[in-house]
């Protein structure tokens, strides 16, 4: 049992050191992530607007060609009207001409709308440019800052990760699970030692009987108030040199 406790305490020390390092980075990682997300969003918006502009111009060109071919048809119908033999045929051609005219009117109206849509979308896409530049500059600055902080602590982080891996393989799975659960619930601190008869996590008084019990390192004990795993001051003390 004593060894189990020592290992958990060692794990806590590694994790706490790691947490301290992360704290030095402050909000930087979050800020960098936020900026990256915003840039992605703006890029997507810009692309959507450009697609809208492109698609509107394609539709405009299609309407344009349709108008041209309708006009050709009308000319053809008009020529045919001179050659027909009956009123019925003549009227049928007139109806075709009317229909084509109506269609041309409708398409012409649509042309303006499509052009307006395209130029609005293009304008909006263009306006995103300066905002993107601003975000990119900010990302560059914050990213450089973060890279610098990361580099400063790279070696230490690597060392801690390594130590953690080595410890984890030596600890029982159920102990790790318990440790992780408490750590998550208690702001990172799962294993504490009793200091002057008080829990090192919540400072609740630990009764003398329990302090004595704790010194035996015979079983896993948790704080009655905060639920953190308790180790005796002695164990904490002589583990500080060995682990
Ligand atoms: Zn406590």
Q: Give me ligand 1 centre to Cα 227, in Å.
A: 6
Domain boundaries, the chain: 24-168, 173-242
- pLDDT digit string (tens) for 49-65? 999 999 999 999 999 99
Which of the four pLDDT bands, split at 50, 70 and 90, describes residue 241?
low
Torsion of CA 161, 166, 172, 177, to 10 degrees: 0
In sequence order, what DSSP letters do the residues of 158-171 get, joined into one string?
Answer: HHHHHHHHHHHTTS
pLDDT digits (tens, 9 = 90+) for 108-161: 999 999 999 999 999 999 999 999 999 999 999 999 999 998 998 999 999 999
Measure 224 CA to ligand 1 centroid, in angstroms: 7
In the reported structure, the alpha carbon of residue 122 is separated from the centroid of ligand 1 by a whole-number distance in angstroms of: 62
Give the global pTM. 0.62
Please name the CATH architecture into which domain 24-168 falls: Orthogonal Bundle (1.10)
d(CA 171, CA 10): 11
**CA 231 to centroid of ligand 1, rounded, Å:** 11
The first and second tokens of residue 228, run together, are: 């953190």
- CA 190 to ligand 1 center in whole angstroms: 10
For the residues 183-188, what does the mean pLDDT come to?
Answer: 94
At 242 the pLDDT is 47
CA distance 77 to 96: 8
> pLDDT digit string (tens) for 18-35?
999 988 888 899 999 999
**What share of the chain has pLDDT > 90, as a percent?**
87
Q: How confident is the model at residue 239, as a pLDDT?
A: 74
Mean pLDDT of 193-197: 91
How far away, in angstroms, is 207 Cα from ligand 1 center?
12
Say yes or no to pLDDT of 44 above 60.
yes
Q: How far is the CA of 211 from the centre of ligand 1 (A)?
A: 13
Cβ pair 97, 105 in contact under 8 A: no
CA 220 to centroid of ligand 1, rounded, Å: 14
């Amino acid at each position: 049992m004593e060894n189990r406790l020592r290992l958990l305490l060692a794990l806590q020390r590694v994790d706490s050191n790691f947490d301290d390092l992360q704290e030095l980075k402050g909000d930087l990682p979050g800020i960098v992530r936020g900026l990256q997300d915003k840039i992605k969003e703006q890029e997507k918006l810009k692309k959507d607007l450009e697609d809208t502009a492109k698609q509107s111009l394609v539709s405009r060109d299609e309407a344009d060609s349709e108008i041209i071919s309708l006009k050709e048809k009308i000319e053809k119908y008009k020529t045919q009207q001179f050659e027909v033999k009956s009123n019925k045929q003549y009227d049928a051609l007139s109806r075709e001409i009317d229909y084509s005219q109506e269609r041309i009117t409708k398409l012409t109206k649509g042309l303006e709308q499509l052009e307006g849509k395209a130029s609005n979308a293009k304008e909006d896409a263009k306006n995103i440019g300066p905002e993107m530049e601003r975000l990119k500059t900010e990302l560059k600055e914050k990213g450089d800052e973060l890279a610098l902080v990361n580099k400063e602590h790279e070696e230490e982080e690597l060392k801690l990760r390594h130590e953690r891996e080595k410890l984890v393989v030596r600890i029982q799975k159920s102990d790790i699970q318990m440790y992780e659960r408490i750590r998550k619930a208690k702001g990172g601190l799962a294993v504490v030692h009793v200091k002057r008869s008080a829990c090192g996590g919540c400072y609740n008084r630990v009764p003398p009987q329990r302090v004595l019990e704790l010194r035996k390192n015979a079983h896993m004990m948790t704080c009655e108030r905060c639920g953190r795993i308790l180790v005796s001051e002695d164990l904490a003390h002589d583990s500080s040199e060995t682990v």
